[in-house]
Amino acid sequence: MRALVVEKLAPDYAGCVVKDIPTPEPGPGEVRIRVRAAAVNFPDLMQTRGEHQHKPQVPFVGGMELAGEVDALGEGVTGFAVGDAVVSGGRGGFAEYAVLPAATLRKKPAALSFSQAAGYPVAYLTAYVAFSRIGMVQPGEWVLVHGAAGGVGLAAVDYAKVLGAKVIAASASDEKLAVIQKEYAPDAVVNVTGGFRERVKEITGGRGADVIYDPVGGDVFDESIRCIAFGGRILSIGFTSGRLPTLPVNIALIKGFSVHGVRAGEYGRQFPEKGRENNEAIWKLAEDGKAHPRVDAEYPLDRWREAFETLAQRKVVGKTIIRPDL
């Protein structure tokens, strides 16, 4: 089978190559999937350089979210049949076939295409844990979503609307904000270029945002603490800006706000029962047609570098997908 293999850790994806490798066989309790779609995430890019906290041993095949069809069953697997449309997360999506534990699979919701399903779990699980487990977003609260055009940010816009929040979508691109406004109908949009503090206060009637969802960090975090409401919650999702901000605790004291780190996967590992509930909740959203994951572009395996660059250069609105079957 053909796969995108990380043979060594190096900058500029220099250690990555598409090559033929043996098609894996499923062991006991495992399923082989014919991959129809795999989402590209920032951790996938970081792992090619060894910069992510999870460091697979080289050589490895990346791709932490995938969807496809069951191709073969290992010994003892029940509940799935060859040909079933499934979705899974873990590893190996950037290949024509992937072998994963059956316990990590679930049937693909009919409402989602393979590409939508592949790009769904990480983004929507992050939004769910952030808003329903940690941030405790209430109907009518103002929620400011930074990086709203990215996969994780767009899921937050979508899910906050489901919760009945008043949503401000923030991005540095008017073009991207126009797409978000048209397809997701947030209550307001803000271009953060040149600052956003005063605009957020204006939109919220001077109060500031009750909840701020921040996957960007850096200067965005620094300004966010200036436009958060008293008693508000900042949800730190990541640092795509590349700079880790520092919190002046005196400002948190004066304004009475809190900062919460959000790691949706780790939350599920620390609280397994809640983790199962979280996953059931997000897939029910999809099955009920309440979630609207957006696929920005699809690429064949040979054009993996272009796919990676759409994230690195922040060109996407939603998710970039690699289609090994193209």
105: CATH: 3.90.180.10
- Shared-domain flag, residues 170 and 82: no
- Shared-domain flag, residues 18 and 60: yes
pLDDT tens, residue by residue, 242-265: 789 999 999 999 999 999 999 998
Q: What is the pTM of this model?
A: 0.91
- Shared-domain flag, residues 77 and 173: no
Q: How many domains does the chain have?
A: 2
Which pLDDT score is estimated for 53? 74
- Shared-domain flag, residues 160 and 106: no
Cα 56 to Cα 60: distance, rounded to the nearest angstrom: 7
Cα 193 to Cα 314: distance, rounded to the nearest angstrom: 15
**160 within some domain:** yes
User: In which domain, by residue range, is 71 found?
Assistant: 2-120+293-323
> For the chain, what's the residue count?
326
3-class state of residue 212 by DSSP: strand
42: pLDDT strictly greater than 90: no
**243 within some domain:** yes
**180 within some domain:** yes
Mean pLDDT across 89-97: 92
Instruction: Provide the pLDDT confidence category of residue 51 given band limits of 50, 70 and 90.
Output: confident
Which 8-state DSSP code applies to residue 213? E
- Shared-domain flag, residues 58 and 70: yes
Rounding to the nearest 10 degrees, give the CA dihedral for residues 26, 32, 38, 40: -10
Mean pLDDT across 84-95: 93
**CATH number of the CATH domain containing 203:** 3.40.50.720
- Shared-domain flag, residues 108 and 229: no
- Shared-domain flag, residues 127 and 87: no
Biggest CA–CA distance in the chain, Å, is: 62
SS (H, E, C) 224-265: HCCCEEEEEEEEECCCCCCCCCCCCHHHHHHHCCEEEECCHH
Which pLDDT score is estimated for 241? 82
From the list 157, 194, 202, 160, the residue with the least C-alpha distance to 174 is 194
- Shared-domain flag, residues 34 and 49: yes
